[in-house]
């Protein structure tokens, strides 16, 4: 029986993603575009940075860009580790990245920036520059010097010089940057900053004059062989106080429509552009950026944390964008494009939108990823995101506990070829992730489990046994000689944590709860005090859970901000706004002093002044204790040579974030049968003197 012929597009629904796209004088080999993103490595760790970007090119990203790159010492962003192109000595480190990207046939892009009042110049020790005298960002007691015409001419010269250096380094795409409320070029556009009365102030045409000059002069300098891209925020989600996609954001694109070779458009500031999955879902920027293609014939890049190839194809076919921009999805899976091309969609390691990657830049530390433990380790440890060394022995290994650490450890050991038994006492795999992904806003975190469960199912040498509690006797009787313990952790019930080092009076009362109780379905009623001494996401989601359950909630924290550490993931303000909108009473800089029936006493973290408040229940979110009893019971068996090896990983070793648990499991798998390294177990980048 014959079948009607089908088109190639019907045979391969993702063919459109692999079409080449001309960008000025260069051609992107496909539509996968890694937009500029920070990484905590920058100019300080050029070898690490080059290897990380090269991994993405190897994985099929057709364009791979830098982070923001400082063009002059007067835009010194220290302590943040961004790119640097102050003078010719900065060319060789950047060339490392270009060569790593070109080696795999991809284009290399560079985002040049002068950050104006966002650059405090702590290292350079020169006055920051801006279009007017104004305070610098981040509450620093520093103000800028107002730029005169000679300063503007100097800025234009610095930008041109940096573009020429970028060309010498080998970059294919050179950015003029006006997004995230970070660069001077954007500051000049904005009415809230620009009070100038000369030709650079007043009308929108005047306010975009500097940006137009930078684009024109960059094209004049390097446009013969390099594409000139524009990165523009078309909406700041501030209403008339900022750019809007119906107002001046739209008009800027219309006025400059055909000038650059490529438009890379997004929303601003950074916390909006890189919103977490807790607050925004895939494709969330489309309603703001979809107008751009109607105004220009040049290719358009858009972002929106796209992880689904179907969503990518849809965005292109609907005319929203020409190239699918990504930062976080390219971090979670550098090989996402190749997996789409090879039809291995189930192998895509989807971003969970947690922004742990972002925290690397905020904390000036090398990038990491919850889903991809090899991220940032490509040079330091020679880790590849897809490949791993084959096994060194025929050892059989039992991993006890199938949370994020145990699942990743068993998966990576299985990939190496070891015979692995993964046992879990509960009927469901996933440990803390299985519980936490049911909390408000965290459903996409389930991808940590789902991807690993799918990969484990493919490994015939890995046996998975849920609903199988194991004690030390059962393990020893199993005959398996190599044991890895990944039994997780639990919340303390005694109130001991970051702000308190002794048991809390009243912690043993029946109306005192921990997050473990709530995640097990035991919820309080009435008025509830949450004492959040964790300072990340769990306090906020517990508050949402209780409000949705009908409780009247007060959240107290000894920190100056609610969920203070979430500033590192760009979520703090959104968390606080969400809680305020739900009617949660927020009390900062308050420590919990004692609990009584119906009451709780709070003490001000600075003054010590105490207040007594009435509550029906108290939720303690303090430290966690490792569930390491099994590990401790097995340790003598190693000395007695009943076991060949024993290791504890994840929260059972040291409670931390999920990314650390995954990394711990992966590290244990990589180190199985490897010799113990004396000294630092990874390479360091040193400056030779």
Is the previous residue joined to 657 through a cis bond, with omega within 30 degrees of 0?
no
DSSP state string for 61-99: -SEEEEEEEE-SGGG--TTS--EE-SSGGGHHHHHHHHH
Is the previous residue joined to 269 through a cis bond, with omega within 30 degrees of 0?
yes
Catalytic member of 90, 172, 264, 273: 273
Half-sphere exposure of 30 (CA within 13 A, CB side): 25
Catalytic status, residue 177: yes
CB 434 within 8 A of CB 428: yes
Question: CA-based angle 45:49:55, to the nearest 5?
Answer: 155
Catalytic status, residue 357: no
Task: Dig out the tokens for 608 from the structure.
Answer: 């010590």
136 three-class SS: coil
Catalytic member of 159, 180, 250, 666: 180
Task: Dig out the tokens for 311 from the structure.
Answer: 């969503």
- How far, in Å, CA of 48 to CA of 325, rounded? 23
Closest of 33, 96, 102 to residue 61, by C-alpha: 33
Catalytic member of 33, 177, 200, 491: 177
Catalytic status, residue 180: yes
- How far, in Å, CA of 613 to CA of 617, rounded? 11
First-residue to last-residue Cα distance in the chain: 76
Radius of gyration over every alpha carbon of the chain, rounded to an integer in angstroms: 27
- How far, in Å, CA of 65 to CA of 616, rounded? 54
Catalytic member of 33, 38, 114, 187: 38
- How far, in Å, CA of 125 to CA of 118, rounded? 14
Closest of 334, 327, 429 to residue 373, by C-alpha: 334
Is the previous residue joined to 79 through a cis bond, with omega within 30 degrees of 0?
yes
Looking at the annotation, which residues are catalytic? 38, 177, 180, 273
């Amino acid at each position: 029986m014959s079948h009607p012929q089908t088109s190639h597009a019907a045979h391969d629904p993702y063919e459109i993603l692999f079409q080449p796209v001309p960008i000025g004088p260069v051609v992107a080999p496909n539509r996968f575009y890694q937009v500029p993103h920070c990484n905590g490595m920058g100019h300080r760790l050029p070898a690490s940075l080059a290897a990380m970007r090269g991994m993405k090119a190897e994985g099929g990203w057709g364009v791979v860009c830098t982070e923001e790159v400082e063009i002059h010492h007067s835009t010194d962003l220290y302590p943040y580790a961004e790119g640097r192109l102050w003078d010719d000595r900065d060319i060789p480190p950047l060339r490392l990245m270009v060569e790593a990207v070109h080696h795999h046939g991809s284009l290399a892009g560079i985002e040049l920036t002068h950050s104006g009042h966002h650059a405090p110049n702590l290292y350079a020790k020169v006055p920051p520059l801006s279009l007017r005298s104004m305070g610098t960002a981040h509450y620093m007691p520093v103000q800028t010097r107002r730029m005169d015409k000679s300063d503007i001419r100097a800025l234009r010269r610095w930008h041109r010089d940096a573009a020429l250096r970028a060309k010498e380094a080998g970059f294919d795409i050179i950015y003029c940057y006006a997004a995230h409320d970070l660069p001077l070029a954007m500051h000049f556009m904005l009415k809230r900053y620009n009070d100038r009365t000369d030709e650079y102030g007043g009308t929108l045409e005047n306010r975009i004059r500097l940006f137009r000059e930078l684009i024109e002069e960059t094209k004049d300098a390097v446009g013969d062989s390099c594409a000139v891209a524009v990165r523009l925020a078309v909406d700041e989600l501030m209403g008339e106080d900022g750019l809007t996609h119906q107002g001046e954001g739209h008009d800027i694109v219309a006025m400059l429509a055909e000038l650059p070779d490529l438009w890379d458009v997004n929303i601003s500031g950074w916390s909006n552009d890189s919103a977490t999955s807790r607050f925004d879902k895939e494709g969330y920027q489309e309603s703001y950026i979809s107008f751009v293609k109607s105004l220009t014939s040049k290719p358009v890049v858009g972002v929106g944390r796209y992880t689904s190839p179907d969503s990518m194809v849809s965005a292109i076919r609907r005319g929203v964008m020409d190239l699918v921009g990504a930062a976080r999805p390219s971090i979670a899976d550098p090989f996402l494009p190749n997996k789409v091309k090879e039809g291995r969609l189930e192998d895509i390691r989807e971003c969970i939108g947690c922004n742990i990657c972002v925290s690397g830049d905020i904390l000036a530390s090398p990038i990491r990823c919850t889903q991809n433990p090899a991220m940032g380790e490509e040079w330091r440890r020679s880790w590849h995101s897809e490949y791993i060394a084959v096994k060194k022995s025929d050892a059989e290994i039992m991993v006890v506990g199938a949370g994020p650490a145990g699942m990743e450890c068993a998966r990576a050991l299985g990939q190496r070829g070891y015979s692995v038994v993964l046992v879990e006492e509960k009927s469901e795999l996933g440990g803390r992730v299985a519980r936490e992904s049911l909390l408000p806003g965290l459903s996409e975190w389930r991808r940590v489990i789902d991807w690993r469960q799918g990969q484990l199912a493919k490994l015939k040498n890995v046996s998975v046994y849920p609903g199988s509690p194991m004690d030390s006797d059962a393990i020893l009787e199993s005959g398996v000689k190599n044991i890895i313990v990944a039994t997780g952790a639990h919340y303390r019930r005694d109130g001991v944590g970051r702000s308190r080092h002794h048991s809390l009076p009243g912690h043993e009362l029946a109306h005192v709860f921990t997050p473990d109780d709530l995640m097990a379905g035991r919820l309080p009623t009435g008025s509830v005090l949450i004492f959040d001494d964790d300072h990340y996401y769990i306090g906020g989601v517990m508050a949402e859970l209780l409000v949705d359950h009908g409780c009247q909630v007060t959240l107290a924290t000894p920190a100056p901000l609610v969920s203070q550490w979430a500033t590192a993931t760009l979520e703090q303000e959104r968390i606080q706004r969400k809680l305020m909108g739900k009617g949660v009473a927020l009390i900062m800089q308050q420590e919990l002093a004692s609990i009584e029936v119906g009451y709780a006493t709070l003490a001000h973290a600075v003054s010590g002044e105490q207040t007594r408040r009435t509550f029906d229940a108290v939720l303690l979110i303090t430290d966690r204790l490792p569930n390491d009893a099994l590990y401790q019971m097995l340790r003598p068996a190693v000395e007695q040579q009943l076991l060949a090896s024993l290791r504890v990983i994840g929260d059972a070793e040291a409670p931390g974030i999920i990314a650390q648990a995954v990394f711990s499991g992966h590290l244990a798998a990589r180190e199985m049968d490897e010799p113990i390294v004396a000294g630092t177990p990874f390479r360091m980048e040193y400056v030779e003197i």
